[in-house]
Structure 1
């Protein structure tokens, strides 16, 4: 849904820098525990925002594909490594990079960064499923858009 007020900027989807997508985020009070450190589960939310923004900018219109009855992504595997904490009012960047592309799934490596410091590393497998939850081939147009973004061995 888009607003009709032209003076309000839409939320940022970040940007690609080569094959890496970067989404800036800010740590708000609601993201932290009593100590002012980001609650561990909120990193999963940050990673999801990064992946969703990356897919949107790559041309994968997830809502339209779901509404057309084709299916949707579901996370089938998630590995996280917490390295350092983020704190209230930190400015973070979620980096996302496509590392594997299969007919029914893709693998995305992600990092949550504060400047050049890695706070969290993740590897996510997203499978494309039909409405009944069975694996299904991803839309061909998505595969075409994703191939140029795929990390190769020398990168």
Structure 2
């Protein structure tokens, strides 16, 4: 964890043709991909490589639950910003509030609970201590 930690993160991404339906509107399930990318890049910025975590610590992250609201459509070529923040940290879980915006306009918002699991058994397992310490510190900001 060598990068300075922050309690929020933002990822900018472009909507491509593959993200849309025949009408050029983002397919609803693709927002979940956008949110996943934002969480992954945030962890990467904190110095967490999920591939290494799986090999070294035998830990994986899986989505346990989510609650999404779709408010406005995003369209082909839109530039979106995905905002993320941690709302709760458990020993084996991280709860995120995430939202997708276009020019400051809220398009979709979700609450996602990610669970840390053992790579072999896929049963809940504690977050590695250095990661938990880093996340705990930024949730107290």
Shared fold (TM-score, shorter chain, > 0.5): yes
- The residue number in structure 1 matching 2:130 is 141
For 1:93, the equivalent position in structure 2 comes to 81
| Partner residue, 1:47 | 35
The question of whether the paired residues in 2 share the 8 Å contact of 1:107 and 1:126 is answered with yes
Q: Deviations over 1:8-47 (max 9, x none)?
A: xxxxxxxx99521000000111111111111111111101
Ranked by relative contact order (alpha carbons within 8 Å, sequence separation 6 or more), the top structure is 2
1:5 is matched with: none
- Point out where structure 1 has 5 or more consecutive residues left out of the alignment: 1-15
Unaligned regions of 5+ residues in structure 2, if any? none
Normalising to structure 1: TM-score of the pair? 0.83
* SS of residue matched to 2:66: strand
Q: Which residue matches 1:68?
A: 56
Q: Which of the residues 11, 27, 35 maps onto 1:23?
A: 11
Q: Which runs of 4+ in 1 moved over 6 A?
A: none
CA distance in 1, matches of 2:140, 2:62: 21
Deviation, structure 1 residue 61 = 2.2
Q: How many residues align?
A: 137
Contact 1:71 1:129 in 2 (8 A): yes
Contact 2:5 2:46 in 1 (8 A): no
**Structure 2 match to 1:123:** 111
